[in-house]
A and B are shown apart, each in its own frame.
Chain A
Amino acid sequence: MLVFSVFTLVAVIFAIYLTFHRWSIIEPEKPFVGLDNYRDMVGDERFRESVLNTAYFSGVSVPASMAIGLVLALLLNLPFRMRAVFRTAFYLPVVTPFVVSAILWKWLYNGDYGLFNYYLTKGHIIDQPLLWLSDKNLAMPAVILMSVWSGVGFSMVVYLAGLQAIPQDLYESARMDGAGPLRRLWHITIPMLRPTTVFLLVLGIISSLQVFTQIFVMTNGGPVNKTTTMVYYMYLWAFKYYDMGYASTLAFALFVILLFFTAFQLRLARRADLS
């Protein structure tokens, strides 16, 4: 418990303290600067860009992996013999160490030898090889595609658990009332899965706002900052420019955003309970 207190509770207080200082690891002086870090952050063009990039990443990757996860779960909830095999296939990327996935996809995206370019040019979908990770319009979609690939299995399993919790009598009575499969999906399955959806949405947003590993391995935040996310930007300030004070301020900005979503989740969860 003591260890825990040191590494979380004390750490949080320490983090607040840091945001009011210009705290360089290499210099002995750690002057108090008041709100300067916060003022710098508000005027920081690159920070604003990193917030937008992060929003872009979350805004696309979270709904995409949830939608695909739901479709897979619906299909894999049907009774047929091969479903265990399929479930395992879609879940494997979740088990793979994330760094390994990122390395693997970095190669798949390779401009000269990557499998993407090879099959897309061969299928005459594109005329010439694309520079996936170094094209400023393609880099973020490429990172998102990889993240969706590795995250879909998780939403699929959670949705499967949600589907199995739905009482079957509901479907029975709907069927007797003459509701077709689509109507049953729309009026029973989707509403009954609401708590699951809320859970996945919030968990997805919270974890996607913290995206880092893919960026570090695949793009280094480039090209021209197009994939610099908030956490990557914080990492740069802390461990490349060695300004712990400013980096902590950036971390706090992230914390405030996350807090907003958590509060949002609590409200949604309460409403889901009431209905």
Chain B
Amino acid sequence: MSGVVDETPGVPAVAVVPRPAKKPREGNNQFSLRQKLLTYLVLAPMAILFLAPFAWLVSAAFQPMGEIFSSTPHWIPEHPTLAGFKGFLNVGTLTKAQQGQGHGDWRWFVNSAFVAISITVLQTFFNALCAYTFAKRNFPGRNVIFVAFLGTMMVPGQVTLIPNYLIIQHIPFFGGNDWLGNGGHGWLDSYFGLIMPGVVSAFGIFLLRQYMMSIPDQLLEAARIDGASEFRIFWSVVLPLCVPALAANAIFTFQGAWEDFFWPLIIMSSPEKITAPVGLALFVVQNRTSWTLLFAGSVIATLPMIIVFIIFQRQFVQGIAVTGVKG
């Protein structure tokens, strides 16, 4: 509540009375119209430059090939077509040309969704479980193991990439392997291979552990006295209290898994099993130049990310803020 004196125009009492703490924080009075205009003048062209590629992507997804390849770019499709989307979703019959160029596959998106959702669910659960063990259980060597976990955060994915590839190849009893893991291809080209290495993350465990540390031990003690099992405590006492942290973890995991590229690229080989990013990238690299199709596929691959972002905008920003501040 600001005093009446401050609000009355023409009364020069501002300097005498200390301003209420709230008002200057807003800073509205310091921000003149000229400054505002200047800000817009800087931001608007930049925003346009940032958004133009998207606008082009969406527009081009609806353009026939001839229009994409015309000498002047069309921002609004002159002869809008759904051929790209149809080609991708395999709706209707494919033309000879489409078959010749190779066509998109709707299964790529189903694969991506399946893999991303599996990894998100499994990782959120296992991360929470590990975090709970580290935060609330005492066992010998706990701190040593925890530090070892954190240490692995420093190892870049590329170092473990090749060994993991070989490990996946030599999983016993799978893909024609014998009990020593020889002879077949193990989990290569299978969803197990795609999902398993992603089911825990040191970073996620770290974040969740920090969060769980703030839960008072008395709460768990009370549950223990009431006769709740250890898993029950984890499931019905700790997890509900961690929902914000779990949500942030899940969103980032989903985003990462959906757009992951390197790992699926090297371990998947059947064209019908690959994920959307790999499918789209190989499409480009192999010079199958049906760009209408490609742009349509790109739009389909981007949509889930945009939707997730719009729904969880707050968690996105908070999640980044949390990870950013700790540095």
The answer to whether B277 touches A99, judged by C-beta atoms less than 8 angstroms apart, is yes
CB neighbours (8 Å) of B294 from chain A are 103
Partner of A92, one of B51, B167, B320: B51
Q: Is A225 an interface residue (CB 8 A)?
A: no
Whether A162 and B31, one on each chain, are in contact in the complex, defined by CB atoms closer than 8 angstroms, is: no
* Residues of A contacting B: mostly: helix
Is A80 within 8 A of B262, CB to CB? no
User: How many of chain A's residues have a CB under 8 angstroms from any CB in B?
Assistant: 86
In the complex, A10 Cα to B317 Cα: how many Å? 35
Please state if A6 and B130 are interface contacts (CB–CB under 8 Å): no
In the complex the two chains form, what is the Cα distance from A212 to B60 in whole Å? 26
Please tell me if the beta carbons of B50 and A106 are within 8 angstroms of each other in the complex: no
The count of A-to-B residue pairs whose CB atoms sit within 8 angstroms is 233
Cβ of B39 within 8 Å of any chain A Cβ, yes or no, is yes
Q: Is A241's beta carbon under 8 Å from chain B?
A: no
Taking a contact as CB atoms under 8 Å apart, the answer to whether A89 and B51 are in contact is yes
Chain B residues positioned under 8 Å from A107 (CB to CB):
60, 291
Is B266 in contact with A239, judged by CB distance below 8 angstroms?
Answer: yes
Please report the C-alpha to C-alpha distance between residue A248 and residue B166 in the assembled complex, in whole angstroms.
Answer: 12
A105 closest partner in B (C-beta):
B53
Contact assessment for B162 and A206 in the assembled complex, using a CB-CB cutoff below 8 Å: no
Contact between chains at B36 and A168 (CB < 8 Å): no
Decide if B315 is an interface residue (CB 8 Å cutoff): no
Residues of A near B28 (CB, < 8 A) are 79
Tell me, rounded to whole Å, the shortest Cβ–Cβ distance linking B319 to chain A.
10
How far is the CB of B24 from the nearest CB of chain A, in Å?
A: 6
Does A70 reach chain B (CB closer than 8 Å)?
A: no
Q: B317 to chain A: closest CB distance in Å?
A: 6
Q: A97-B258, A269-B327 are in contact. Are A7 and B47 (CB under 8 A)?
A: no
Q: Cβ of B24 and Cβ of A172 under 8 Å apart?
A: yes
**B311: shortest Cβ distance to chain A, in Å?**
12
Tell me, yes or no, whether B121 is within 8 Å of chain A by CB.
no
A217 touches B31 (CB 8 A): no
On whether the beta carbons of B154 and A198 are closer than 8 Å, the reply is no
Chain A residues near B317 (CB-CB < 8 A): 157, 160-161
**CB-CB < 8 A to B255: which residues of A?**
95
Given contacts A14-B167, A161-B321, A247-B162, A258 and B284 within 8 Å (CB-CB): no
Q: Are B54 and A92 in contact (CB under 8 A)?
A: yes
Q: Which of B3-11, B68-76, B226-234 is found at the contact surface with chain A?
A: B68-76
Are A78 and B46 in contact, CB atoms less than 8 angstroms apart?
no
A6 touches B167 (CB 8 A): yes
Known: A103-B294, A154-B320, A195-B327. A12 touches B163 (CB 8 A): yes
**A11 in the interface, Cβ–Cβ < 8 Å?**
yes
The residues of B that contact A274 with a CB separation of less than 8 Å are none
Judge if A125 is at the interface, Cβ distance under 8 Å.
no
Interface residues of A in 216-251 (CB under 8 A from B): 216-217, 220, 231, 234-235, 238-239, 244, 247-248, 251
Q: Which of B68, B70, B73, B285 contacts A217 (CB 8 A)?
A: B285
- Decide if B200 touches A3 in the complex (CB within 8 Å): yes
User: Does residue A262 face the partner (Cβ distance < 8 Å to B)?
Assistant: yes
Q: Contact: B167 with A210, CB < 8 Å?
A: no
Chain A residues with CB under 8 Å of B26's CB are 79
CA A161 – CA B166 in complex, angstroms? 41
One digit per residue, 1 when the CB lies within 8 angstroms of any chain A CB and 0 when it does not, for chain B 293-317 equals: 0110010011001101100010001
Contacts of B270 in A (CB 8 A): none
Point out which of B35, B73, B266 has the most chain A C-beta atoms below 10 A from its C-beta: B73
- Whether the pair A251, B301 counts as a contact (CB closer than 8 A) is no
A102-133 vs B: 1/0 string, CB under 8 Å? Answer: 11111110000101001000000000000000
Measured CB to CB, the nearest residue on chain B to A252 is B159
Q: B235 contacts the other chain (Cβ, under 8 Å)?
A: no
Are A212 and B162 also in contact (CB < 8 A) when A196-B324, A255-B155 are?
A: no
A92: chain B residues within 8 A (beta carbon): 50-51, 54, 306, 309
In angstroms, how far is the closest chain B Cβ from the Cβ of A266? 10
A98 interface contact, C-beta 8 A: yes
Q: Encode contact with B along A150-171: 1 for CB under 8 Å, 0 otherwise.
A: 0000100110111001001000
From B43, B159, B165, B302, A255 is in contact (CB under 8 Å) with: B159
Query: Given A8-B202, A18-B163, A78-B31 in contact, is the A113-B68 Cβ separation under 8 Å?
Result: yes
List the A side residues contacting B167 at CB < 8 Å.
Answer: 6-7, 10-11, 14
Cβ-based interface call for A82 (8 A): yes
Chain B contacts for A251, CB-based, 8 A: 156, 158-159, 161-162
5 contacts between A and B (CB under 8 A): A8-B155, A90-B46, A93-B50, A108-B56, A172-B24
Nearest 9 interchain pairs by C-beta? A199-B327, A161-B321, A97-B259, A14-B163, A99-B277, A158-B324, A11-B160, A11-B163, A4-B200
Residues of B within 8 A of A (CB): 24-28, 31, 35-36, 39-40, 42-43, 46-47, 50-54, 56-57, 60, 68-73, 126, 130, 148-149, 152, 154-167, 196-197, 199-200, 202, 255, 258-259, 261-262, 265-266, 276-278, 280-281, 284-285, 291, 294-295, 298, 301-302, 305-306, 308-309, 313, 317, 320-321, 324-327
Known: A157-B321, A238-B161; 15 extra A-B contacts, CB below 8 A, are A12-B163, A14-B163, A80-B39, A97-B302, A99-B277, A107-B291, A108-B56, A149-B53, A157-B324, A158-B320, A216-B265, A238-B165, A252-B159, A255-B159, A258-B156
